[in-house]
Structure 1
């Protein structure tokens, strides 16, 4: 039997990687990618700053927190660092627009960047290259924990962004604070015991938006407390009793600890992160792309469709394939039949398509009834790398049957978006919160982070005047 007190090879290896990672060790392609990912997350947060659930968090915390240490992005408000991190992470995840590591099932920027930028606000002198190294440290670790746990983790009802996200946040924060490997072990152990998040939040609850912010806050706490000598579970990932892997899988074997450190420092999971060009959960994107591709070959709209059949993985079935019932914007953005109906009716599934008066729109409800999601055991058997794969069949009223298979959505890690596409999306979203001139300065600052002597200006550029 393993020593449940001291046996922590994976946690130790992760801590050693995080604490020692230098900018110069990171491949140029990873640096280029992380800058685009940071910019994309910033745009998501700025857009969400004025949304109702974001306002509730901002106002509620301002009522009990008079601190002025950290900026709430897209506003002129400041809060204590932990509260600002909670709000900012919630805003990045605030409208289903942010990045996703498909295999690790994690929205990475939403959990890494809020804690990291809060630390940069309180620790003047962090260089752009130091900031990028800390960001990569965070972006590398969370996805590995997600891959270790596998798609069954979310299928069991855990919201993986909230659970595995704490390890990404703690890693980025620990690197930014310059923690030693020993301290980073404790940061991970403090963050890991705070991991929580229930997927039932997808059925209309505002709290789903808050999961990423809470995970980022937990990672911040882990790093800050460990820096002062507070101790955590040193084998948080390995412990046979009460460890993260065993407890959250309810097993001793339905996870693969080898994935936690597989290729660490050689295979860069940052390159496995995809961007979204639909304002809905990533599990819906492949179906929407399949329909768009079919429409490009043979134009059709909602009035032409008799039935849409989507064959997908078990995760797709559980996550987005349920019968649509209007329960708010969250459920609309996570439900596949609703999003298919929206695409067929409007020709797009972006921010303008999701308003409170649309969630119970009779036309959308009627078209959503025509969408059937079926489990395809062969897709499930392909494993987590293919969890978004779908075979889509559209039956038209004239008897035509159209079919298309899509494995990964637009902006996926294998066919990543161009810089121009990422900047265009950012500019479109950021105008909700900041002037165009400031947005352009923010783009320039982030895309040239490796040239910045200090990142002190970054929080200012994220704030509304």
Structure 2
């Protein structure tokens, strides 16, 4: 926006929605969860196209230039999921995607040409390279374009953890209501292949915050003990707490192979069974987590989640000003004030 002059809120929202529509569709072409199973970090692989389209719309690029921007973005897509265990780069990879897409749009605006037909090229094209081994589908890029809106189905996370763990966290919170402080002797968690591969390994004490946010054993233990999984559950003292690790040591995670071929609406089904000291088994199943398209977060929950995060890193008046600016984007003549609010320094989220 600073490079193109004043940007109105409606123009900003239009650009954002264009990006929101592109990113998921690129993911569909690669059957996103299958790509994740192979170890690619989906966000920085798909996110370059999201950022390129949003930036390109703000710059006023025409169709040919947008094709160049997408071609330039695609050749910068990358991201290894092994970053989830302890690497600070995990938090950087989405930023890389935003930066690379921004650069791609800027280069296209300046006359740089990108790879034409970048998705369909048989040799060295985006789908042929990233989709190796799981039959990518280029038709998904434009299927029902303008009739089916991906923006309306994007999940907003309720917890400060990897999205695939949210079903387990929801289930653990349901079980927590059943056991009411009783001593836990064993925890069994059953999930499908994507969550199992992405979210389970036997953790070593203490976990780094990034590893804890990705580990289903840690997330369930925190939910059972604390009733929530927010930044407070990832501070140094909580990551090395005896009560957390006592439950992790009592946890088994099981793979439900039958979910591999299930529809996407069923693929993330999660079962949590907690056996208490008296031998009683307490069970909860979550088919899709709260925040999924079938059970979206409410506006009030969205604002509360924002403040649960933002109020930790800045003062309440600034957070409230950001909230007001975002909620009034549709009538804003210039988003410069919002950019200034977001650009100011913050403190550490886990300090």
Short-chain TM bin: over 0.9
Q: CA deviation at 1:125?
A: 2.2
Instruction: Decide whether the 8 Å contact of 1:164 with 1:195 is kept in 2.
Output: yes
The one of 205, 210, 213 equivalent to 2:87 is: 205
Q: 1:192 aligns to what?
A: 74
Instruction: Decide whether the 8 Å contact of 1:274 with 1:416 is kept in 2.
Output: yes
- Structure 2 spans left out of the alignment, 5+ residues: 346-351
Instruction: Describe the superposition over 1:181-226 as per-residue Cα deviations: whole angstroms up to 9, x where unpaired.
Output: 0000000000000011000001111110000000001100110000
Q: 1:341 aligns to what?
A: 221
Q: State how far apart, in whole Å, the 2-side matches of 1:406 and 1:286 are.
A: 6
Q: State how far apart, in whole Å, the 2-side matches of 1:332 and 1:433 are.
A: 20
Counting only pairs closer than 5 Å after superposition, residues 128-143 of structure 1 correspond to structure 2 as 128-143=9-24
- Alignment of 1:277 with 2:165, yes or no, is no
The one of 321, 328, 333 equivalent to 2:200 is: 321
Instruction: Describe the superposition over 1:372-413 as per-residue Cα deviations: whole angstroms up to 9, x where unpaired.
Output: 111112222114343321122222221212222212222222
Q: Give the secondary structure class of the aligned counterpart of 1:121.
A: coil
Instruction: Describe the superposition over 1:216-269 as per-residue Cα deviations: whole angstroms up to 9, x where unpaired.
Output: 011001100001110111121111111111111224x52222211111111111
Q: 1:27 aligns to what?
A: none
Instruction: Decide whether the 8 Å contact of 2:209 with 2:235 is kept in 1.
Output: yes
- Alignment of 1:146 with 2:27, yes or no, is yes
Q: State how far apart, in whole Å, the 2-side matches of 1:309 and 1:154 are.
A: 24
Q: State how far apart, in whole Å, the 1-side matches of 2:250 and 2:230 are.
A: 21
1:324/1:292 CA distance change after superposition, 3 Å: same
TM (normalized to structure 2)?
A: 0.93
Q: Give the secondary structure class of the aligned counterpart of 2:159.
A: coil
Instruction: Decide whether the 8 Å contact of 2:192 with 2:267 is kept in 1.
Output: yes
Q: 1:300 aligns to what?
A: 180
The one of 171, 184, 188 equivalent to 2:53 is: 171
TM (normalized to structure 1)?
A: 0.71
- Alignment of 1:260 with 2:141, yes or no, is yes
- Give the count of matched residue pairs: 343
Q: 2:123 aligns to what?
A: 241
Instruction: Decide whether the 8 Å contact of 1:312 with 1:380 is kept in 2.
Output: no
- Alignment of 1:429 with 2:270, yes or no, is no
Higher mean displacement: 272-281 or 173-182 = 272-281
Counting only pairs closer than 5 Å after superposition, residues 5-84 of structure 1 correspond to structure 2 as none
Q: State how far apart, in whole Å, the 2-side matches of 1:355 and 1:165 are.
A: 28
Q: 1:457 aligns to what?
A: 337
- Structure 1 spans left out of the alignment, 5+ residues: 1-119
Q: State how far apart, in whole Å, the 2-side matches of 1:435 and 1:123 are.
A: 30
Instruction: Describe the superposition over 1:408-455 as per-residue Cα deviations: whole angstroms up to 9, x where unpaired.
Output: 222222222222221222223222344323322222221111111121
How well do the aligned residues superpose, as a CA RMSD in angstroms?
1.7
Q: State how far apart, in whole Å, the 2-side matches of 1:353 and 1:306 are.
A: 22
